Chain A
Amino acid sequence: MENPAQILGNTAGGVIGFSWLMIALPLVGAAILLIGGRRTNKWGHLLGVAMSLGAFVVAVLALVQLLGLDPEQRRQAVHLYEFIPGMVDMGLLVDQLSISFALLITGVGSLIHIYSIGYMSHDPERRRFFAYLNLFVAAMLLLVLADNYVGLFIGWEGVGLASYLLIGFWYFKPSAAVAAKKAFIVNRVGDFGLLVGMFVMWTTFGTLSFAGLGDATIEQNGTVTAIGLLLLLGACGKSAQLPLQSWLLDAMEGPTPVSALIHAATMVTAGVYLVVRSGAFFFPLGSTAALVAGIVGTATLLAGAIIGCAKDDIKKGLAGSTMSQIGYMMLGAAFGPVGYAFAIGHLITHGFFKADMFLGAGSVMHAMNDEVDMRKYGGLFSKMKVTAITFIIGYLAIIGFPLLSGYFTKDGIIETAIEHNPVMGWLAVAGAGLTGFYMSRMIFMTFFGKARWDKDAHPHESPAVMTVPLIILSIGAIGLGAFLVLGGRLYQWLAPAVGGARDFVPAFHPFSVPGLSTLALVAVGVVIAWFKYGKAEVPVTAPRGSFLTTFARRDLYGDALNESLFMRPGQWLTRLAVFFDNRGIDGLVNGLAATIGGSSGRLRRVQTGFARTYALSILFGAALLTGALLLVGNL
């Protein structure tokens, strides 16, 4: 059989020529499940898992093929079809960067699909859930595999749509419906940036494809900075970076696997992907766009950590932590190829340990009648050992416990940051200390201490279909960091794709001042948490807390700010505009009509019905005409 991909004029052969299957499989799955409706209820979830696994297999095979190629040849283009003739062709770019993402998305994605079989088993609409999950996987793969910005943007909005649908999966809860809408709208603010960024790009360089931009000479000037900043705005929306962070915490209204897949492991990292992929616009280091990216990352990593410190809702605590960790990635992405490698590395390990913890939280909620308040947990370690141990592995990974995943990748980001910009670097160190505190707080409140359960809670371990993915993810959380970072493996793998020197090995100094102080600060954080939440009793109702606690609990007043700056003025503007339209413009039109109507009403009174009055007016008319003609002198 002939390869259809080659008929389409591909340059890539083999499995990579078929890499569109990665997108097509889950897309077909979603279509079947949505169109098939209730008829597919019985086996819908299995189809969803199969399609996701299928995409994973294709990704692995593509990786194998890439590995067999010379490193400089690992940039494989797959042309699909003409999209907008003369502007954009739809095609895929399979290179080191995109395949790394594809593996993360399909790998972690498949695990979460499997986990969801158990987690959603009691939901009557489990099929719809899997349809949306498949839709998400397809869109996310399009986002990372597309070889141009328009394709990326289609995937970008596609994941936004999937995120909207999944946050609002329980649409009958008003809070979920509102949270879904909020996520989409805030994301759209970022999309505005991405869109305008594309306008400028097209106008300046005449191309929107990565290959075309790669060939263009991009020199730092005002326009390029503008493109960088606009893309960064898009990245901020998708990755919940300041100032567009407010949607992520509300997004926890969705089912927990969604939080794990979309709002921790994959979609929210798309912003980091965008910045890395568009590296040329953030170059050279220290240029305005790169600097702003660093500032955004630093601010967000601190903000997220502070929010995480005060949340009693386990999912919101994890969400704050996600914000914070993506802040680290954004910070890393501000510092060129070395930073990219660590940012992507952290992104991948974070995908594992955060998904692990989110799914663990889901497992806990599953056991505790969907209770999310950690103040009503406690002492769960003995009741659900697998969940607890895997959760604790994820915890150790995120706080950077030596030799676990997070230790390598986060430390790499901090070191790179200190090298280029000490202020940001040391703030990141402080953030690591906060991470130690809030994550330990979560562990102590959930798994240790006294049981503070509601009366009807009967915690139990989750079924194997949920715990097995947890175990696999925790294995990744243990070893992936060392595998990727030691010897500069990830850096050298990514170097041709993101433009770094290939034979260079990024230094890794575990015993340097920053490395040791990070560890020390983390230890301090853990100890404080132990004294406050491990040793001391945790009250079931939250104490009022200081100003700082309230500040953190209310998400640093982000929502209040949005509300008073945008929402309320917006509502007033809307009301004003509607009033203006109804009374102003339409009023003018109707007023004109009424004036004409009114004056005709008055004018018709002249028709009195007395024949002699008419006769008189005829006489006057005749006299007037005669007079006029006489005046003109034509008579």
Chain B
Amino acid sequence: MTTEYLVLSAILFVIGAVGVLIRRNAIVVFMCVELMLNACNLAFVTFARQWGNLDGQIIAFFVMVVAAAEVVIGLAIIVTIFRTRRSASVDDANLLKY
């Protein structure tokens, strides 16, 4: 049982990670990040069920809260960037460098 859930979680995580790395559109990158977070949540919940305690579930809630906060701030940033630069590509926002 557990193994299958974990494999699913791993697959979701990899999909998310690959999405973050190869996609340019900030919104899509953002969604991929969410996917990775939720893959982790799945793993947490799985382990909670496996060991029969609530620790994993609590952490999953924390992750969700943090993810929600992140979405709020992240989307705001993306919208602002889009307004000033007319682009949602993460590669165009590269001013913050050496």
Contact = CB atoms under 8 A, between A and B. Distances in A.
B1 interface: no
Contacts of A612: 20-22, 24, 29, 90-91
Contacts of B96: 609
A513 interface: no
A310 B57 CA distance: 114
A609 B97 contact: yes
Interface in A590-635: 604-612, 615-616, 619
Nearest to A619: B17
Interface string B83-98: 0000000110111111
Interface residues of B, number: 14
Contact of A611 (B17, B22, B90): B90
Nearest to A603: B98
Contacts of A608: 94, 97-98
Interface in B64-93: 90-91, 93
B21 A610 contact: no
Q: Which of B20, B22, B95, B96 has the most CB of A within 10 A?
A: B20
B20 A610 contact: no
Nearest to A615: B20
Interface string B12-49: 00000100111010000100000000000000000000
Nearest to B18: A619
Nearest to B17: A619
Nearest to B22: A612
A209 B53 CA distance: 94
Contacts of B22: 612
A609 B90 CA distance: 10
B20 A604 contact: no
B91 A610 contact: yes
Contact of B95 (A609, A615, A616): A609
Contacts, number: 33
Interface residues of A, number: 12
A605 B93 CA distance: 17
B21 A611 contact: no
B98 A605 contact: yes
A605 B98 CA distance: 6
Contacts of A605: 98
A134 to B, nearest CB: 73
Contact of A616 (B21, B29, B98): B21
Contact of B94 (A604, A610, A616): A610
A138 B40 CA distance: 96
Contacts of B90: 610-612
Contacts of B93: 611
A605 B90 CA distance: 19
Interface in A62-90: none
Nearest to B94: A609
A615 B26 CA distance: 13
A610 B21 CA distance: 11
Nearest to A606: B98
Given A610-B91, A611-B90, A612-B90, A619 B97 contact: no
Contacts of B17: 619
A619 B21 contact: yes
A610 B20 CA distance: 12
Contacts of B97: 607-609
B98 A604 contact: yes
A611 B91 CA distance: 7
A607 B98 contact: yes
* Interface-central residue, A604, A607, A612, A619, by most chain B CB under 10 Å: A612
A568 B40 CA distance: 81
B54 to A, nearest CB: 24
A604 to B, nearest CB: 4
Nearest to B26: A611
B13 to A, nearest CB: 11
A612 B20 CA distance: 7
30 contacts: A604-B98, A605-B98, A606-B98, A607-B97, A607-B98, A608-B94, A608-B97, A608-B98, A609-B94, A609-B95, A609-B96, A609-B97, A609-B98, A610-B90, A610-B91, A610-B94, A611-B29, A611-B90, A611-B91, A611-B93, A611-B94, A612-B21, A612-B22, A612-B24, A612-B29, A612-B90, A612-B91, A615-B20, A615-B21, A616-B21
Interface of A: 604-612, 615-616, 619
Interface of B: 17, 20-22, 24, 29, 90-91, 93-98
Given A608-B98, A611-B29, 14 more contacts: A605-B98, A606-B98, A607-B97, A608-B94, A609-B95, A609-B96, A609-B97, A609-B98, A610-B91, A611-B93, A612-B21, A612-B24, A612-B90, A615-B20
Closest 9 CB pairs of A and B: A609-B97, A609-B94, A604-B98, A607-B98, A611-B90, A607-B97, A615-B20, A610-B94, A608-B97
